[in-house]
Chain A
């Protein structure tokens, strides 16, 4: 556990990427392979469901510390983190055991699964006595499922590939697939011979926001334009008549979208399709929060299946019958895709329509994206291969509102007057050198139900409070939309966002996945902000359209 504690301290305390990578590489090289596997498991944000009740953990800790439960709770409120509270309160034992990470997980955490509360208590109390302080802190973090440290998957990939002297692309691909921690994991990640699980997805090619002028992209006929949907990115894998749906977070979401899976199984070939899952009813795409009702549950209730029908909008084909298509140009992949999907195309799977036209026509189409229930246009270079990760140049997202970031909620303020007692004003932060830097306050954009839920979370968050302001545990990610970014000496972050508002709650993201500061800096107005044109034709149903609505 010592080596893992040291690694954690470096990752947690350092703001320098190189230092973090060096620490990871050293750890992967020197520790037993099983420890490395568990480290990768937890560092990449995976958890183990142990089935220990939090209330029990608190009660046992209070008993061990020989203090009344209310005093433990007061302490927990002051600390704001259960693992740390236990660490500070429960007296340390006389002798510590020197076992490694794997032992502490496999002998002391895994046996908690399915154990009786009495057995669980024994394991916890023994472990608290036998761990040294820093090891105990980490073990408690793993126990309570709250282990988090500022390491991206990219960083882990780099470190593993460096430690194994294996190509990054290979490691990245293997890390995306289904794997279980174990002594063989490192070898599996790096070894050229061991094939990744065939049912695993390929690294996603990610588009970058378009910031340059559209005409800088060159002739229009070199590009393929499609709608940018507000859905869930998904790779649909068909293997031996079975379908596997993977989200971008490498999560298997097959169970959440059974009707899509059934259609994928009906395809005539094994394949990997890239596309977007959207909620779609009577030909209309539904808002993202409707789609989210399908997520986060192991079994989707019949009612939700009925009320929120979904569809896969297919736009790329990465593989067919074992042949890798990723190096083919997009235009060819598109041809194969159409051929493959056409026989089963319908309400559950459709081919992403191509938006035709020259640049000015596309610009007009883009302004009408909302009419088509899209966020804007995607521009893809027809000759481009399917790359891995966020590589600029070939795939651009050209959103109607180009200014969107994912930020973490860090602070909330109570309203006054009628809104007293309700947290109405929220502060959001993005990552900068490993810490969260507040960049904007926003107070609108959530539905009433979301507001209510968020309020309850903030109230129970238990972190410090100054007057009406409450510090919120940084774990909720929201997408903020705004009209522009400019430099500002008055703001601590150095930038000011124009008219920021909450565009949606990214329940699918954890804090570590929020945007980084350079993304904001890159938006500092290069192009004039394109005004959304609202004309009478666009909104035929708008009463009094064509005149200034505020004059009515």
Chain B
């Protein structure tokens, strides 16, 4: 059977339908899985994305970008190829791309997680013959706790900061992670929530899309009444070690990321605390989703490619690497490691 999707110099390409998925160079037709910078790049002549993610994509690609949208599950036809988008549970509007041609079904996962997230629809595994799966956290050391546990860890830390007169600086990717953290802490926090401008613009897009988030203020608007101490400041990790954080006085710095699972990663980067919150599937999550797709062939990308391929091969699945240039997540203009 011919390869329905293959990697070219521009990106993941469907020849039969003449379109790309998350291309890294400008192309005529691009299907976009989600708004993270290594997936949604500017300059294409036309884009197709989920309607849920439109405000985010507009914030990223510009108000004039030629974006068409479909609802999850709705099918678009291109040269006899059926394309549909399905929730990936990664961030608001994130989608898996299902591609069907002459009875052959492929699914490109984009980034996904199958845990809970109040800011986006839950991931829906889609039956297919070939599944292109991300593998960011494809090692058995990565197992996420339930959100409730992390939520109370964060609230406890914030309360402790407040009691000791410090600012709780919580670092996380400005698109997706920050809004999920906001929704997690909700209105239960012991103080005001302050956002870095990069976070605030994404939060605005989430609110426009109808996601309910607690009240926040932008750091640039000035100090809250009663000073910064006791507030929770949400900012991208790139602010670490920059003058921007000086105005807050005494801070405790925490990073919310799947990488915080490993103690050494936390210590080397000098964080006071690490909260294990990821928008990618953990090891059991990857295996669960892959099983649920019923795929006979799995192409791994984005992370622990070799490990996941080998493990699946030993379990009797035809698995191998999908060569790509996606090497990790970047978040807008900030240079950040994968979340």
**Complex Cα spacing A62 to B314, Å:** 16
Which one of B139, B272, B314 has the greatest number of beta carbons of chain A within 10 Å? B139
Q: Mark B129-149, 1 if CB is under 8 A from A, else 0.
A: 000000000011111000000
| Chain A contacts for B141, CB-based, 8 A | 75, 78-79, 85, 88-89
- Which residue of chain B has its CB nearest to the CB of A473? B264
| Chain A contacts for B310, CB-based, 8 A | 70
Q: Which of under 10, 10 to 19, 20 to 34, or 35 or more describes the interface residues of A?
A: 20 to 34
Residues of chain B in range 258-280 having any CB-CB distance to chain A below 8 Å: 261-264, 267-268, 270, 272
Q: Mark A64-95, 1 if CB is under 8 A from B, else 0.
A: 01011011101100111100110011000000
A74 touches B139 (CB 8 A): yes
**Complex Cα spacing A435 to B261, Å:** 20
| Chain A contacts for B142, CB-based, 8 A | 88
A463 touches B264 (CB 8 A): yes
| Chain B contacts for A471, CB-based, 8 A | 268
- Which residue of chain B has its CB nearest to the CB of A85? B141
A81 touches B264 (CB 8 A): yes
B270 touches A435 (CB 8 A): yes
- Is B307 close to A, CB under 8 A? yes
- Which residue of chain A has its CB nearest to the CB of B143? A88
| Chain A contacts for B311, CB-based, 8 A | 68, 71
- Is A13 close to B, CB under 8 A? yes
- Which residue of chain B has its CB nearest to the CB of A463? B264
Partner of A80, one of B139, B261, B264, B270: B264
Say yes or no: A81-B140 contact (C-beta < 8 A), given A13-B272, A71-B311, A471-B268. Answer: no
Q: How far is the CB of A236 from chain B (nearest CB, A)?
A: 41
| Chain B contacts for A85, CB-based, 8 A | 141
Q: How far is the CB of A475 from chain B (nearest CB, A)?
A: 13
**Complex Cα spacing A8 to B311, Å:** 36
**Complex Cα spacing A85 to B261, Å:** 11
- Which residue of chain A has its CB nearest to the CB of B145? A133
| Chain A contacts for B139, CB-based, 8 A | 71, 74-75, 78
Say yes or no: A78-B262 contact (C-beta < 8 A), given A68-B314, A71-B140, A89-B141. Answer: yes
| Chain A contacts for B262, CB-based, 8 A | 78-79, 84, 88
**Complex Cα spacing A5 to B211, Å:** 40
Partner of A88, one of B261, B267, B272: B261
| Chain A contacts for B261, CB-based, 8 A | 88
Q: How far is the CB of A113 from chain B (nearest CB, A)?
A: 28
| Chain A contacts for B268, CB-based, 8 A | 471
**Complex Cα spacing A88 to B258, Å:** 13
| Chain B contacts for A84, CB-based, 8 A | 262-264
**Complex Cα spacing A264 to B42, Å:** 82
Residues of chain B in range 26-70 having any CB-CB distance to chain A below 8 Å: none
A89 touches B263 (CB 8 A): no
| Chain B contacts for A89, CB-based, 8 A | 140-141
| Chain B contacts for A67, CB-based, 8 A | 140
| Chain B contacts for A78, CB-based, 8 A | 139, 141, 262
B307 touches A81 (CB 8 A): no
A81 touches B263 (CB 8 A): yes
- Which residue of chain A has its CB nearest to the CB of B142? A88
**Complex Cα spacing A456 to B270, Å:** 28
Q: How far is the CB of A39 from chain B (nearest CB, A)?
A: 21
Residues of chain B in range 295-339 having any CB-CB distance to chain A below 8 Å: 307, 310-311, 314
Q: How far is the CB of B22 from chain A (nearest CB, A)?
A: 26
Q: How far is the CB of A429 from chain B (nearest CB, A)?
A: 12
| Chain A contacts for B263, CB-based, 8 A | 81, 84
Q: How far is the CB of A40 from chain B (nearest CB, A)?
A: 24
**Complex Cα spacing A41 to B268, Å:** 27
**Complex Cα spacing A518 to B13, Å:** 59
| Chain B contacts for A72, CB-based, 8 A | 140
B264 touches A79 (CB 8 A): yes
| Chain B contacts for A70, CB-based, 8 A | 310
Q: How far is the CB of B287 from chain A (nearest CB, A)?
A: 11
| Chain A contacts for B264, CB-based, 8 A | 79-81, 84, 463
- Which residue of chain B has its CB nearest to the CB of A76? B141
**Complex Cα spacing A13 to B274, Å:** 11
Q: How far is the CB of A234 from chain B (nearest CB, A)?
A: 36
- Which residue of chain A has its CB nearest to the CB of B314? A68
**Complex Cα spacing A435 to B272, Å:** 12
A74 touches B307 (CB 8 A): yes
| Chain A contacts for B270, CB-based, 8 A | 435
**Complex Cα spacing A351 to B268, Å:** 48
Residues of chain A in range 494-522 having any CB-CB distance to chain B below 8 Å: none
Q: Mark A460-472, 1 if CB is under 8 A from B, else 0.
A: 0001000000010
Partner of B140, one of A65, A435, A463: A65
**Complex Cα spacing A13 to B273, Å:** 9
Residues of chain A in range 348-395 having any CB-CB distance to chain B below 8 Å: none
**Complex Cα spacing A81 to B261, Å:** 13
| Chain B contacts for A71, CB-based, 8 A | 139-140, 307, 311
Residues of chain A in range 76-131 having any CB-CB distance to chain B below 8 Å: 78-81, 84-85, 88-89
Q: How far is the CB of B67 from chain A (nearest CB, A)?
A: 37
- Which residue of chain A has its CB nearest to the CB of B268? A471
B140 touches A75 (CB 8 A): yes
- Which residue of chain B has its CB nearest to the CB of A435? B270
- Which residue of chain A has its CB nearest to the CB of B267? A435
**Complex Cα spacing A121 to B117, Å:** 40
Which one of B141, B268, B314 has the greatest number of beta carbons of chain A within 10 Å? B141
**Complex Cα spacing A70 to B308, Å:** 12
**Complex Cα spacing A471 to B269, Å:** 13
**Complex Cα spacing A13 to B139, Å:** 27
- Which residue of chain A has its CB nearest to the CB of B311? A71
**Complex Cα spacing A84 to B261, Å:** 10
Q: How far is the CB of A252 from chain B (nearest CB, A)?
A: 34
| Chain B contacts for A65, CB-based, 8 A | 140
Q: How far is the CB of A150 from chain B (nearest CB, A)?
A: 11
- Which residue of chain A has its CB nearest to the CB of B264? A80
**Complex Cα spacing A79 to B268, Å:** 12
Q: How far is the CB of A433 from chain B (nearest CB, A)?
A: 11
Q: Mark A431-457, 1 if CB is under 8 A from B, else 0.
A: 000010000000000000000000000
Q: How far is the CB of B253 from chain A (nearest CB, A)?
A: 12
**Complex Cα spacing A85 to B142, Å:** 10
**Complex Cα spacing A195 to B307, Å:** 60
Q: How far is the CB of B274 from chain A (nearest CB, A)?
A: 11
| Chain B contacts for A80, CB-based, 8 A | 264
Between A and B, 17 residue pairs with Cβ closer than 8 Å are A65-B140, A67-B140, A74-B139, A74-B307, A75-B139, A75-B141, A78-B139, A78-B141, A78-B262, A79-B262, A81-B264, A84-B262, A84-B264, A85-B141, A88-B143, A88-B261, A89-B140
| Further 15 A-B residue pairs, CB within 8 A, beyond A70-B310, A74-B307 | A68-B311, A71-B139, A71-B140, A74-B139, A75-B139, A75-B140, A79-B262, A81-B264, A84-B262, A84-B263, A85-B141, A88-B142, A88-B261, A88-B262, A435-B270
Closest 6 CB pairs of A and B: A88-B141, A75-B141, A75-B139, A89-B140, A79-B262, A74-B307
